[in-house]
Amino acid sequence: MSLIIAKRLDQVDDLPTVPHTMQRVLSEIEQVSSSAMSLQAIIEQDPVITAKILKIANSSYYSPIKEISSVARAIVTMGFLEIRDLVISFSLIGLFCEDLGFAEFNSKKLWLHAIAVGVGSRMIAKEVHGLDSDDLFTAGILHDLGRLVYCLYFKEELHQVLAEARNSGVGLNQAEETLGLTHASIGAYLALRWKLSDILVAVIRYHHHPQEAGEFVQAAAVVNLADALAKQLRIGWSGLSEATRIIIPKVLGLDVQKVEQIAQQLQEEKNRIIDSWGDIIC
């Protein structure tokens, strides 16, 4: 099936390439010499992302004491990694903001869901030893990348998936698997094509089946749980009509009380996510 996906996507003339600013930021973060000044220099070459960072930096989501009027000030106030996360988010959102052509899928709601999963993944990762919470934020943002690509480039197959879900009374993910083409596999292929890291490719591919993610099982389980929490809290797109079950992956070592605390934290962030990001997304 991966060969079929590769062949189809390779034939798409306007398939988005990895966002240049995001690629440069991810590369810069990996360098030992990485600094706030080098990050600032990259961001300031992209006026659209600069404007969006300053807008959200001055929003109620961050509630700055003084107006933030420069990228340099934003980095000092919000932190190096927080700005990195914003750059990645805005770079990706800018690629897929059009009408997706399906009443069941709205690009703005899908991105609000992605932001919520990113935020939730970071919260969960902080409670699991050995995981990088910022990497998990990025993984959360990217987890449903394939769903957007599905809408835009596999329309006929998606109509079949939706019909299967309606006629058989199954969930969307099960309908995809029945027909043999999943948003997770599509997203993973695009991530490979973009030369993203192994952990990001694995999480995108296995976020619905984290037990199959090998060495990245914990990371995939984090995003799996965050995805379920975001849907249950109805932050952005929350699936079709199927009920969301919260299953705590054993590999995370979290008890019910801890997950309830994380869910409460994400609930408290809900309005801030919708109000602040909603003005900027699409």
Q: How far apart are CA 124 and CA 135, in angstroms?
A: 12
Say if residues 108 and 282 touch (Cβ distance below 8 Å).
yes
Is residue 1 situated within a structural domain? no
pTM to 2 decimal places: 0.87
Per-residue pLDDT of the chain (282 residues; tens, 9 = 90+): 566 777 777 777 677 777 888 888 777 766 645 677 888 888 888 888 899 889 888 887 777 888 999 998 988 888 887 888 888 888 888 888 888 999 999 999 999 999 999 999 999 999 999 999 988 998 999 999 999 999 998 999 999 999 999 999 899 999 999 999 999 999 999 998 888 889 999 999 999 999 999 999 999 999 999 999 999 999 999 988 767 789 999 999 999 999 999 999 999 999 888 887 877 787
pLDDT value, residue 31: 65
Q: How far apart are CA 81 and CA 136, in angstroms?
A: 12
Pair (59, 189) in one structural domain: no
What domain count does the chain have?
Answer: 2
Q: What is the number of alpha carbons within 13 Å of residue 142 lying toward its C-beta? A: 33
DSSP state of 243: P
Is residue 188 situated within a structural domain? yes
pLDDT value, residue 213: 97
Say if residues 204 and 142 touch (Cβ distance below 8 Å).
yes
Say if residues 85 and 277 touch (Cβ distance below 8 Å).
no
Q: What is the CATH number of the domain that holds 156?
A: 1.10.3210.10
Q: How far apart are CA 249 and CA 220, in angstroms?
A: 10
For residue 44, give its domain range.
17-94
Q: Which of 56, 74, 94 is the last residue of a domain?
A: 94
Q: How far apart are CA 237 and CA 105, in angstroms?
A: 8
Is residue 9 situated within a structural domain? no
Q: How far apart are CA 248 and CA 55, in angstroms?
A: 36
Is residue 5 situated within a structural domain? no
pLDDT value, residue 1: 53
Pair (159, 233) in one structural domain: yes
pLDDT value, residue 34: 61
Q: Which of 33, 68, 94 is the last residue of a domain?
A: 94
Pair (188, 130) in one structural domain: yes
Pair (59, 146) in one structural domain: no
